[in-house]
Amino acid sequence: MDRRKVLKGAIAGAATAAAATVAAPAVAASHSKKMKINMVSTWPRDFPGLGTGAQRFAERLTKISGGSMEVKYYAAGERVKAFDSFDEVASGNSQIYHGAEYYWKGKHPGFAYFTSVPFGLTYTEMNAWIRYGGGQELWDKLAGEYGLKGLMCGNTGVQMGGWFRKEMNSAEDFKGLKMRMPGLGGDVLSKLGASPVTLPGGQIYENLVSGAIDATEWVGPWNDKIMKFYEAAKYYYYPGMHEPGAMLSIGMNKKWWDSLTEAQQGMVEAAASTENDVMMSEYNAKNGEALASLLKEHGVKLRAFSDDIYDSFGEAADKVFDDVQKHSPLAKEIHESFIAARTNVGAWAKISDQAYVQQRNRVLGL
């Protein structure tokens, strides 16, 4: 045995052990440093589903990071107004917002596609487009122009068509109607002669009760019951053409996102992806019971939009999409990618989920 090699190896081993001993506290210290994150939102505090989902994300990120990423959550109006969230985060004053991207369509119509558009994608179809159909890449391209990075962080599923004071028998009934409906769905109503209004959730009830608006959509039975829209309008229409799978999201300051380590980005992605699934599960679990309560306890009259009205929605939507594509090359690129996903994923959905549910309900009389 070469004693010099043994001695040399022992010295090297001791040095390595010593270095590890010194480095361990340093690593622990680096993880113990808390990153303070300000998160704003477009939702009222503790509002079921939307608000609580945003709050869950904030709590989950803090928890899975072991407290190294400490999120301070601000509901709408607590730090900035609901619709100021975009600029608050783009400017770097806060790091994250939770909201619906179609609120920013005034900045670029392409943002609407990353919440929902008329005759668009359902929850499962949207997930497929964002994750595997090029949607995330286009979202990154669009949001990046404004210094932002977006991720899916919730979904309400298919939404109801809205609350009305009178029965809607034809497309003519929409003429002159002042209705709360954001996004491209509002543009569809405009093509039919209505006056769409964009209001944050906390302001809808007072405007409906006062008569400032004639009708409104919000989400679905669970949230709508909580908002007590039935006190001012009794006719509840379905299905909503405007939001067949309303995706919610977090928007992050791009420079802040790029400054995160790969592990930190992974924790943000994990927290957002989890909430994307949890929120949808909660809506599916609670909408049915809430609908039954609205019908039995509050005298709500459930109505389906006629085929003629839906055909009019479709014709108006085509005109809206023509306008969107003329906006810019990026808007056209987003639209074409979205439509390709609707065609491809929708073809499978037609003979899988949709076909099964139709037959199941027929056999069971549901």
Residue 204 CA from chain centroid, whole number: 19
Q: Which residue has the tokens 């109503």?
A: 189
Do the strands 301-304 and 235-238 form a parallel or antiparallel pair, or are they unpaired?
parallel
Distances (CA, A) of 195 to 59, 180, 316: 39, 8, 14
Judge contact between 168 and 305, C-beta under 8 A.
yes
Q: Over the range 126-157, which residues count as b (16 or more CB within 10 Å of their CB) and which as e?
A: bbbbbeebbbbebbeebbeebbbbbbbbbbbb
State the amino acid at position 269 in one-letter form: E
Q: Which residue has the tokens 């037959």?
A: 359
d(CA 232, CA 176): 19
Is 354 among the annotated ligand-binding positions? no
d(CA 217, CA 56): 25
Is 282 among the annotated ligand-binding positions? no
**Which runs of E-coded beta strand occur in the chain?**
35-41, 69-74, 96-99, 148-155, 162-164, 178-180, 195-197, 215-216, 235-238, 247-253, 301-304
Based on the number of CB atoms within 10 Å of its own CB, is 190 exposed (0-12), middle (13-18) or buried (19 or more)?
middle
d(CA 121, CA 102): 14
Q: What is the Cβ-side half-sphere exposure of residue 207, based on CA atoms within 13 angstroms?
A: 19
Judge contact between 116 and 338, C-beta under 8 A.
no
Q: Over the range 171-189, which residues count as b (16 or more CB within 10 Å of their CB) and which as e?
A: bebbeebbbbbbbbbbbbb
Is 269 among the annotated ligand-binding positions? no
Is 159 among the annotated ligand-binding positions? yes
Is 265 among the annotated ligand-binding positions? no
Binding residues for substrate: 159, 180, 217, 243
Binding residues for Na(+): 218
Binding residues: 159, 180, 217-218, 243
